[in-house]
Structure 1
């Protein structure tokens, strides 16, 4: 079964996917993070400083990474996210600007002014979305969605705009509905998530949850998030 583990950023996707891979002996697929791609796409810049063309390059690069890894694992894997999230990561910027950290002051239902650049960027993301949606429909059987229930990680590498994060989460779920793709919302502690996912997938764990979490945490520490 081709399983996508989704959720907005700072929802615990990466660590949860590492745990599930250990707990249920499922191959795990991933892609380079935006932080890893950044030095090649926009040398010397932070994520807050990238231009819209550079962000598009990063989104496509990450999508390509996902496609390659998904293809290698064929019909059995759990994925840390999916290409819809790259598309959404760009699309929601039409509301909150290329640097969402600059629009933290906005209230619900408020957006930044749509400049000529943002209008063009919106059209590009709309067309890319068609490609990403087709890919996801063809590449996954089931999605497990982690709710937006954890504190926002203020690590300097991801937007700290809670409205941006919430809007990303809602757009992802709306897109699943649009595509008529099954998704199950599973939250709680790491242990609760793991047990609920095992029950949903009807897969017997191959090791204890404590050992799975310990191994996953060690692997997580080696990642560039």
Structure 2
């Protein structure tokens, strides 16, 4: 396989270094990267002032749908222009994130009292959301089977980044890591596990697919880290500026929503 006909997913759960690996690989090889808005960027646009751990199921659905729309549009653009791309995650990853929330709680990164209250109050709506996720999964699987040629999976190798914005728990991360690999296997896309430092990851991926090198690997990693750091600092600043500490009345009103 050559870089002319590869649509490669860099897969993995939260805080496994997907974005750095995908960005650095794109810089090193010249293969375009899916340039869709991140979940954090979408959050600041459609729900300014909110945090992931405080979102209701309806808000998370809206966030997921917007993320899905972003990916589909950008994939279509790059496929038309270049016939190949590198994707930081995928529509299948996004769907599995949602299914795991249904198992461990929709706000796994929130406080215990919050998770318990949401679980109890969400019981009447659970059946609907299960059906919704099943329908979402059907579409995500069809798209992933038809559009992606290969999958590189980054396992959980270190603890979650303590940046204050990760909306999940270690339990969630470990379960979603397993479910993501299983999901790709079920659609006939066997994930290739790649681990190690960012430089080691890129060397392995480039060797596996015989990809070109247009920028030295070490430089590509440095450039990627700089780009990501700048972007995340800007988004984090927006989240902090927009966020307003909810009053007791706001908290009671929010917890009662599912």
Which ranges of 4 or more aligned residues in structure 1 deviate by more than 4 Å? Answer: 102-105
Does the Cα contact within 8 Å between 1:85 and 1:172 map onto a contact in 2? yes
Match of 1:223 in 2: 231
Please identify, of 59-68 and 31-40, the stretch whose mean Cα deviation from structure 2 is larger.
31-40
Measure, in 2, the Cα distance between the counterparts of 1:200 and 1:4: 14
Please identify, of 206-215 and 141-150, the stretch whose mean Cα deviation from structure 2 is larger.
206-215
Match of 1:204 in 2: 212
Match of 2:42 in 1: 37
TM-score (norm 2): 0.79
Does the Cα contact within 8 Å between 2:54 and 2:110 map onto a contact in 1? no
Which runs of 5 or more structure 1 residues have no equivalent in the other structure? 106-111
The count of corresponding residues between Structure 1 and Structure 2 is 219
Does the Cα contact within 8 Å between 2:28 and 2:215 map onto a contact in 1? yes
**RMSD after superposition:** 1.9
Which runs of 5 or more structure 2 residues have no equivalent in the other structure? 1-5, 114-118, 236-258
Q: 1:43 to 1:103 in 2, by over 3 A?
A: closer
Match of 1:116 in 2: 124
Deviation at 1:102, TM superposition (A): 4.2
| SS, match of residue 230 in structure 2 | coil
1:1-49 CA distance string (max 9 Å, x none): 1111110010100011111011111111142122111133333221111
Deviation at 1:131, TM superposition (A): 0.8
| SS, match of residue 223 in structure 1 | helix
Does the Cα contact within 8 Å between 2:152 and 2:191 map onto a contact in 1? yes
Deviation at 1:104, TM superposition (A): 7.1
Does the Cα contact within 8 Å between 1:21 and 1:27 map onto a contact in 2? yes
- What does 1:1-225 correspond to in 2, within 5 Å? 1-74=6-79, 75-102=83-110, 115-224=123-232
Deviation at 1:130, TM superposition (A): 0.6
Structure with max Cα Rg: 2
Please identify, of 63-72 and 211-220, the stretch whose mean Cα deviation from structure 2 is larger.
211-220
Measure, in 1, the Cα distance between the counterparts of 2:137 and 2:168: 24
TM-score (norm 1): 0.90
Deviation at 1:154, TM superposition (A): 2.0
Please identify, of 120-129 and 170-179, the stretch whose mean Cα deviation from structure 2 is larger.
120-129
| SS, match of residue 100 in structure 1 | coil
Q: 1:50 to 1:223 in 2, by over 3 A?
A: same
Higher helix fraction: Structure 1 or Structure 2?
2
Measure, in 1, the Cα distance between the counterparts of 2:63 and 2:110: 21
Does the Cα contact within 8 Å between 1:33 and 1:62 map onto a contact in 2? yes
